[in-house]
Amino acid sequence: MSARFVINSLDFVNGSGRHCDTIPILELVRLHDWLFDDQGSLIYELSGYVDKNDKPHLLLKINGTMNLSCQRCLDKLTHTFDLQTILLLVNSEEELNLIDEDDSVDAILSTSELDVIGLIEEEIILSLSISSRHPEGTCNSNLPRTNKTSFSEQSKSAHPFAVLANFKKTN
């Protein structure tokens, strides 16, 4: 595992810092529950700036692909990221609570040791859907093989367990 990239967020912004790098998916440990495999990498760019109102901001861009697990068929689902997030840096919890009421602004607490990889993981997790799935009708790897006789036809038989017995014989 490579060394974590840690910044002093306000110093980074005040110095108009800019950092680009590639992260192997393997190192994004908090994402492992969503992943089908840990192949590939993501490219990120972090830059700091002060806006016209003298407010410090971080601009985070994340690009790449990763293989998620489809929650329907449990097969590989390739997901492409093209994220861009602007984060306002605030100095106190009170200021953060006030800004959290406004859904149009994303803010984080400024800190002397901001773990950039942790921030990237957080932004990726927030961008994922609750249940990642292939489009409707394209998951078929785990569907049972159908018989020549449909289940509705089998259910019309005299014995209620005949359908199960027939299913057991064919599968």
Q: What is the pLDDT of residue 134?
A: 82
Q: What sign for the dihedral angle of Cα 29, 27, 34, 120?
A: positive
Q: What is the pLDDT of residue 18?
A: 93
Cα 78 from chain centre = 12
SS3 9: helix
SS3 11: helix
Query: Cα angle at 118 between 112 and 119, to 5 degrees?
Result: 75
Q: What is the pLDDT of residue 16?
A: 87
Q: What is the pLDDT of residue 118?
A: 93
Averaged pLDDT in 10-residue chunks for the chain of 171 residues? 78 91 92 89 95 93 93 87 93 83 82 92 90 78 50 56 73 62
Helix (H) or strand (E) holding 100: helix 93-100
Q: What is the pLDDT of residue 5?
A: 84
Q: What is the pLDDT of residue 72?
A: 82
Q: What is the pLDDT of residue 85?
A: 94
Q: What is the pLDDT of residue 142?
A: 47
Q: What is the pLDDT of residue 141?
A: 55
Q: Per the confidence metrics, is the pTM higher than 0.85?
A: no
Count other Cβ atoms within 10 Å, centred on residue 113. Answer: 9
Q: Where are the domains of the chain?
A: 6-127, 143-171
Q: What is the pLDDT of residue 3?
A: 61
